[in-house]
Amino acid sequence: MSLTYLLIALIAMFGHSEDFLGTTLLSRPLVLGPLVGLVLGDVTQGIIIGGTLELIFMGNIKVGAAIPPDVITGGVLGTAFAIISGKGPAIALAIAVPVSILAEMVISGLFVLRAILNKKFDQYADDGDYKGVQRLHILSGLLRPLFMGVIIWLALQLGAGAMKSFLDMIPAWVQSGLQVAGNMLPALGFALLMNLMFNKKVAPYFFLGFMLAAYLKLPVIAIGGLGVIIAFIVTQDTSKEVSEDEDDYSDVNTETEKPSPKLTKGDVRSLFFRSLALEANFNFETWQNTGFAFSIIPALKKLYTTKQTMAAALKRHLQFFNTSPYGSTLIIGITAAMEEQNSRNADFDAESISSVKLGLMGPLAGVFDSLFWGTFKVIAAGVGASLALKGNVLGPILFLLIFNVPHLLLRYHLTFIGYNTGTKFLQNLAKNNVMDKLTKGAAILGLMVVGAMPATLMSITTPLTIGAAKSGSAVQGILDQIVPAMIPLGLTFLVYFFVKKNVKTIYLLLGLLALGFVGSMIHLFT
């Protein structure tokens, strides 16, 4: 068993390395669940549990310094204990929720502690020692996977036996209560997503998604496809300029007479690769500052050959920085181009580099966080979880592909766009209202998929009958004839109502658990 525990701890360490891996969702339960299943010899169960946990933690997102529950630790331990003890997803959930809340506190602590290292980073910068900055960034980044890996390994090694006998003691009625409660919890995830996207203007798309799923039984992936088409049609009327706009900025690019760029394609490419470790040393004092410095160092190395100039540049980039990792390369590229101008021209105002960088980080975080968390992640999770709940291994695979193909393509090209065209690209976006269309289209698409979710991803029904015990007709049958999946939809809106009233997530979670438990005991829901 010891080897197994070690392997599971390694999976958790892999998950906790997400800050080195470009926030590519490799750490989500839907990906780690199947891996844990593989180690424990039951991949299918791992996929199903991963899908279940993914749904429940769906509304959990990382924006700015608001750190969500740690689904890596919670998900890995929950999945592992559930499979070891031979219980289902319900037990995984019962473990994952409290563990992830506890583990979040540990990680927040680490983010506070890391600020201590900032002095050391400043020293390295003063000496123009970019190698020192790089080294410390990586070492500090490794703290998280190492530390969490040890904790998880200890939890398994010391706690697995006790946990198993404890889980064996759980009576059947508690388990079936948990089962029903677990089936209800996705309503919370859906409601949190709706809270981000739902408003009167786009509400019809939510119901369109719901009806396609509930009545026509279309799979989520088909609804996503339809969503893309509808989003295109709806934003089309004025989108002629969009295609012209592309030419515009490439024209600008060729027309302006620039001295030949100092950075090679390879250099720019390494800016992109390094940006994947942007958040490795995330801390609560200066946030992603060392990640930014780490990413831009390949450019600085080329541009600044004296200790003095290197020190000045490093100090500039160790200032507070925080943006969405998904759009970070645009800022990194623009900054590299400005650093190049600075290195060429002694009169260049180096302060302007910082002001452009700091000016862009907030607004671009807004754009890219909404696009990736609000749209791509939603579709990826919707499609992935719907397959995973059936034990289909395509679930986690499509989940990763749907999110990361657009993510990595965009992130890669934005580095070059930033470096080659600088802020002109943004000016063109602003001039042509591209952003408005993009956010509108993304909202339509995201909401259609969210609408499909209660109908496809929640199985809550009622065993009630009306009339005499034997001749009575099943309530569920009647409901299905009017609106299939009426209970999941109603539940989702009920939770959404409370979310709108600013009721804390933890109370909603406990409330849903209680409702599921009681509902199961009095045979209201199954």
Partner 1 sequence: MIKLTRIDDRLVHGQVAFTWVPALGVDCLIIANDKVAKDEFMKMTLGLAKPAGTKLLIKSVADAIIFLNDEKSKGLKILLIINSVKDAYAIANGVEEIKSVNFGGIRMKEGAKLISKAVAITEDDKPLLQELLSKGIELEIRQVPTDSKQMVGSLI
Residues lying near partner 1 in the complex (CB under 8 A) are found at 63-66, 108, 111-112, 195-199, 201, 284-286, 320, 322-324, 356, 359-367, 369-370, 373-374, 423, 426-427, 429-430, 435-436, 439-440, 443, 500, 502, 504-505
Closest CA to 491 of 482, 502, 499: 499
Residue position matching structure tokens 């123009």: 128
User: What is the smallest separation between the CB atom of 508 and partner 1, expressed in angstroms?
Assistant: 10
Q: Transcribe 120-173 into DSSP letters.
A: HHHHHHHTT-HHHHHHHHHHHHHHHHHHHHHHHHHHHHHHHHHHHHHHHHS-HH
User: What is the smallest separation between the CB atom of 403 and partner 1, expressed in angstroms?
Assistant: 17
Q: Which long-range contacts (CB under 8 A, 24 or more apart) does 250-258 make?
A: 252/421, 252/424, 253/420, 253/421, 253/424
Nearer to partner 1 (CB atom), residue 349 or residue 436: 436
User: What is the smallest separation between the CB atom of 425 and partner 1, expressed in angstroms?
Assistant: 11
Burial of residue 301, with CB atoms counted within 10 A of its CB: 0-12 exposed, 13-18 middle, 19 or more buried: middle
Q: How far apart are CA 57 and CA 49, in angstroms?
A: 12
Nearer to partner 1 (CB atom), residue 142 or residue 202: 202
Q: How far apart are CA 141 and CA 20, in angstroms?
A: 8
Nearer to partner 1 (CB atom), residue 168 or residue 285: 285
User: What is the smallest separation between the CB atom of 61 and partner 1, expressed in angstroms?
Assistant: 8
User: What is the smallest separation between the CB atom of 453 and partner 1, expressed in angstroms?
Assistant: 18
User: What is the smallest separation between the CB atom of 326 and partner 1, expressed in angstroms?
Assistant: 10
- The DSSP secondary-structure symbol of 214 reads H
Nearer to partner 1 (CB atom), residue 311 or residue 360: 360
Nearer to partner 1 (CB atom), residue 46 or residue 291: 291
Cα dist. 446→92, 389, 439, 502 in Å? 28, 21, 10, 22
Q: How far apart are CA 270 and CA 256, in angstroms?
A: 26
* Token duo for residue 321: 């920085």
Identify any residues that bridge with 52 across adjacent strands, giving them in sequence order: none
Q: How far apart are CA 451 and CA 207, in angstroms?
A: 6
User: What is the smallest separation between the CB atom of 108 and partner 1, expressed in angstroms?
Assistant: 8
Nearer to partner 1 (CB atom), residue 62 or residue 301: 62
Q: How many CB atoms lie within 10 A of CB 60?
A: 18
Nearer to partner 1 (CB atom), residue 24 or residue 79: 24
Identify any residues that bridge with 287 across adjacent strands, giving them in sequence order: 283, 321
Nearer to partner 1 (CB atom), residue 159 or residue 363: 363
Nearer to partner 1 (CB atom), residue 85 or residue 322: 322
User: What is the smallest separation between the CB atom of 366 and partner 1, expressed in angstroms?
Assistant: 4
Given phi > 0 = left and psi -120 to 50 = alpha, else beta, which region is 502?
left
Secondary structure E strands in 211-303: none
User: What is the smallest separation between the CB atom of 9 and partner 1, expressed in angstroms?
Assistant: 29
